[in-house]
Structure 1
């Protein structure tokens, strides 16, 4: 069998994807972030991360808030990915990045669920895509898809995708227009932190 030719993800040409997008409803109460700065939540990013709007200077530019389905996904995506270094057989993470985290939960005025475009499983493959959209280190295609989905219809509150750092869980890129707001922030409990560090082989330095 000939080796598979590496191909880049297709870009979202207008008219080629809108009818193929499949929705999933996510309870707002299930969304969470592990944040060092809970007073600034939700944090809306643009032009930097995987499903950010690449056109930050455009009149219709939007922000994206990244949330997780579980504490494990949030820990892997934020603490380990952003602050960890694998050395000597474990992840070394600065102690402050561990001890100063708060679990942030969210609400939306008058809404209990959000409608997200599903970029996982069969829904992803039906679009002519693969999980490179969640795993590639090059965000050019994923940001283009985020902008295209945002512009396709106001029904879309964001995107569900497979976490690159914890591939048994989902992460969510929530669009600013969703109306997401912080409900509460609670300091990560010592017991929770110890369990997460044990599970992911993390040591404070």
Structure 2
């Protein structure tokens, strides 16, 4: 016997809807629902769940289709979680995928140093660093850049910051000692790990969204080992989600040269970006 449906099915689901057959079995539930009417979706935010219907906190702010929810509930579900990012498929490191050509002049990098850029790190402390760092045998050095100044700021000075009342309070010494680097050089051969290709490779937003770096580092190594010898890859920024960032392998070092660098607070576009992120010096 199927378990009873909790009272979070919205009252607007009439018996003439595509879910009518299912809902007629539970007339008291959908007829007495306290949620506001707005289409054939579940509203779990204000639903008075009983012990038998209790869902994990991760579902409380979700809206899913009634049909899908009923199938889940009838199967004994109720604990809804997304699949985490899996290790990269073998074809990522064996097949030559179409690459993007990007000029170094398009990219931004922010550093706390006024020399030594571009810098290719091997510490293992960043998302796409070489996994061999654990054995002091890093397969490559990694350099991180943004497509825009906003992305570069979000991925550097704001990376580990939390806003207070909607504002980022950043020490003036940090702002004054951060530098924006621009580059020149040859066209870079980059694999675009966003959009359709990422999905075809069984990837998703966790590539840049997960808080664990272990699996993303395996993806980066797979790109590095590809016979196409990509200079790096494009990925969705985690901290400026509408933007894109780039990770370069140190094999690209000969293709990219520092052209200019300026103090962050003197860089054209900084004032606009600081206002956008509500950055307040202190």
TM-score range, shorter chain: 0.7 to 0.9
Which residue does 1:167 correspond to in 2? 241
Larger radius of gyration: 2
Establish whether residue 8 from structure 1 lines up as the match of residue 84 from structure 2. Answer: yes
Which residue does 2:173 correspond to in 1? 96
Establish whether residue 31 from structure 1 lines up as the match of residue 125 from structure 2. Answer: no
Q: Which has the higher contact order (CA 8 A, sep 6+)?
A: 1
Unaligned runs of 5+ in 2: 1-67, 73-77
CA-based RMSD: 2.1
In 2, the alpha carbon distance for the partners of 1:125 and 1:20 equals: 16
TM-fit CA distance, 1:100: 2.3
- Deviation per CA, 1:118-165: give whole Å up to 9, x if none: 110111111111011011111111100111110122520001001011
- Deviation per CA, 1:59-109: give whole Å up to 9, x if none: 562100000100011111111114x3322331111112212222201233x
Is the partner of 1:39 in helix, strand or coil?
coil
- TM-score with structure 1 setting the length: 0.88
In 1, the alpha carbon distance for the partners of 2:86 and 2:190 equals: 20
Is the partner of 1:72 in helix, strand or coil?
helix
Q: 1:75 to 1:15 in 2, by over 3 A?
A: closer
Which residue does 1:51 correspond to in 2? 128
Unaligned runs of 5+ in 1: none
Name whichever structure is richer in strand by fraction: 1
User: Which of residues 188, 192, 200 in structure 1 aligns to 2:277?
Assistant: 200
User: Which of residues 126, 142, 148 in structure 2 aligns to 1:64?
Assistant: 142
In 2, the alpha carbon distance for the partners of 1:102 and 1:60 equals: 27
| Contact kept? 1:159, 1:174, Cα under 8 Å | yes
User: Which of residues 197, 217, 221 in structure 2 aligns to 1:143?
Assistant: 217
Segments of 4+ moved more than 4 angstroms = 57-60
